[in-house]
Amino acid sequence: MKIRHLWLAPTALILATATLSAWAVPPAPQGFQLGGDATRGKAVYARSCALCHGPAGKGDGAMAAGLDPKPQDFTSRAEMGKRSDWEIYLVIRDGGKAVGRSPQMLSYKSMLADPQIRDVAAYVRSLAK
């Protein structure tokens, strides 16, 4: 390899690492418990989430038509059963992009306090039960 091509190796490594980490959901911190109160979360949901996720969580909110991919049907046990509490919590807290999903799912950590994120996650969880 000529000297002037040496920069390629570290660049490729950085790109590969960035691509991998964009898709990886980091493991839950040890002893992670979602907690949260689904009844309180329902109010947060109606205010902040229903526009895209639909009033009943079916992924059919007023803004959903313009979204690609479409939001998941939160009432589907088959789909939602594959997600851990940690994944649900994390995608709401850090946004879709942080876990390799659509960036149209925003990060709520600057808009909601942590207990509210847990409440709304608990509400989302309750929809498929």
Helix (H, G, I), strand (E, B) or coil at 24: coil
User: How far apart, in Å, are the Cα atoms of 9 and each of 1, 4, 5, 19, 64?
Assistant: 10, 11, 8, 16, 42
Q: Which is nearer to ligand HEC, 88 or 98 (CB)?
A: 88
Closest separation in Å from C-beta 39 to ligand HEC: 15
Q: Which of residues 2-21 bind ligand HEC (CB under 6 A)?
A: none
* Contact string (CB under 6 A) for ligand HEC, positions 53-92, x = contact: x---------x---x-x-xx----------x----x--xx
Residues in contact with ligand HEC, counted by CB under 6 A, come to a total of 22
Task: Show the 3-state SS of 56-122.
Answer: CCCCCCCCHHHCCCCCCCCCCHHHHCCCCHHHHHHHHHHCCHHHCCCCCCCCCCCCCCHHHHHHHHH
CA distance 31 to 37: 19
Does 95 sit near ligand HEC (CB under 6 A)? no
Does 107 sit near ligand HEC (CB under 6 A)? no
**Sites of contact with ligand HEC (CB under 6 A):** 48-49, 51-53, 63, 67, 69, 71-72, 83, 88, 91-92, 96, 101-102, 104-105, 108, 120, 124
